[in-house]
């Protein structure tokens, strides 16, 4: 099974953070508990974060470790592991939308040298680096309904102590969004994003598509998520994926597919060049 996210081609525009957000988050009188930002202020901040990411993140590479499994009743579990160099390249054309292109150089498959340049299944997932950061934003507000909610007790149990005060926004695609070509339809989808209350950065993204159609025309319940962590590239801090997970269950009961990718050791892609002098470019004397 191959699972792919929709391609997004959006032009994000910078939206300066309103003074009211600054006052809400930072201008707290002594002894008072921090006030919860409004939904509108949070969506505006996530828009700014998305613009900063898509505009300023440099081309980079990182270590990627993938575990892909398929479980079917009455059959042995199929499991594939791969180790790759993951690369992200941002388009640099003047005046064009900043699109992000993902690729990978596969080094090992099941701990043996790779014989193919394509990521092997049984489950394959792409698009987490470009999709998750923009779902909850001003530019996507015509596609989704947003709501500010309280994290559940189960959410808090899953989080480390320093993240139990996360802000939570849920989203659901609208009926209009299902038929809008600029939205990630045409499948019904919903999910949640968790936001760090101090930095207002996205720390976890979740999406559920209850009746996803795969490449073989099968229908399945598909859940995927991204956990983010701060990474410094070119003296600028970005929140980049640390873990991406995908879980799909066939509606027919035919099987369960899982994909887990972990990322580490991020580095900016450096391009070095030098000018050859005439003497360096000339053949040696005979």
* 245 in any annotated domain: yes
pLDDT per residue, tens digit, the chain (286 aa), is: 444 334 332 222 333 343 334 444 444 444 455 678 999 999 999 999 999 999 899 999 999 999 999 999 888 999 999 999 999 998 876 656 678 999 999 999 999 999 988 887 888 898 899 889 999 999 999 999 999 998 777 677 777 676 667 899 999 999 999 999 999 878 999 999 999 988 999 999 999 999 998 877 889 999 999 999 999 999 999 999 999 999 999 998 889 999 999 999 999 998 665 565 565 555 665 5
* 11 in any annotated domain: no
Residue 44 domain boundaries? 34-267
**Cβ atoms within 10 A of the Cβ of 235, count?**
6
* 12 in any annotated domain: no
Q: Among 103, 15, 42, 57, which residue's Cα sits nearest to residue 230?
A: 57
Task: Give pTM, 2 decimals.
Answer: 0.81
- Cα–Cα distance measured from residue 286 to residue 274, given in angstroms and rounded to the nearest whole number: 27
Q: Among 76, 102, 74, which residue's Cα sits nearest to residue 88?
A: 102
Tokens of residue 231, six digits = 């990474």
**How many domains is the chain built from?**
1
* 255 in any annotated domain: yes
* 39 in any annotated domain: yes
Q: List, in sequence order, the alpha helices (H) in the chain.
A: 19-25, 39-56, 128-131, 153-158, 175-178, 278-281
What CATH number is given to the structural domain containing 183? 2.50.20
- Cα–Cα distance measured from residue 105 to residue 186, given in angstroms and rounded to the nearest whole number: 32
* 23 in any annotated domain: no
* 24 in any annotated domain: no
């Amino acid at each position: 099974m191959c699972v792919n996210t929709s391609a997004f081609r959006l032009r994000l525009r910078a939206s300066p953070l309103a003074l009211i957000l600054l006052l809400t988050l930072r201008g707290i009188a002594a002894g008072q508990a921090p006030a919860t930002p409004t939904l509108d202020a949070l969506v505006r901040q996530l828009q700014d974060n998305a613009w900063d990411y898509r505009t300023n993140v440099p081309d980079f590479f990182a270590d990627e470790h993938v575990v892909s499994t398929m479980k079917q009743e009455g059959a042995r579990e199929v499991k594939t592991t791969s180790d790759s160099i993951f690369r992200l390249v941002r388009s640099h054309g003047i005046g064009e939308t900043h699109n992000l292109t993902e690729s990978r150089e596969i080094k090992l498959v099941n701990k043996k040298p790779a014989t193919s340049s394509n990521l092997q299944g049984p489950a394959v997932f792409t698009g987490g680096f470009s999709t998750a950061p923009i779902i909850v934003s001003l530019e996507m507000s015509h596609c989704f309904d947003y709501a500010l909610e309280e994290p559940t007790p189960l959410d808090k149990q899953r989080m480390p102590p320093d993240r139990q005060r996360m802000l939570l926004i849920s989203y659901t695609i609208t009926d209009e969004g299902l038929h809008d070509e600029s939205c990630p339809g045409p499948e019904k989808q919903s999910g949640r994003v968790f936001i760090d209350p101090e930095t207002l950065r996205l720390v976890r993204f979740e999406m559920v598509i209850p009746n996803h159609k795969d490449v073989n025309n099968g229908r399945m319940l598909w859940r995927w998520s991204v956990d983010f962590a701060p990474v410094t590239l070119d003296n600028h801090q970005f929140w980049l994926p640390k873990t991406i997970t995908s879980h799909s269950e066939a509606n027919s009961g035919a099987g369960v597919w899982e994909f887990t990718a972990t990322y580490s050791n991020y580095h900016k892609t450096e391009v070095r060049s030098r000018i050859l002098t005439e003497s360096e470019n000339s053949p040696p004397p005979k």
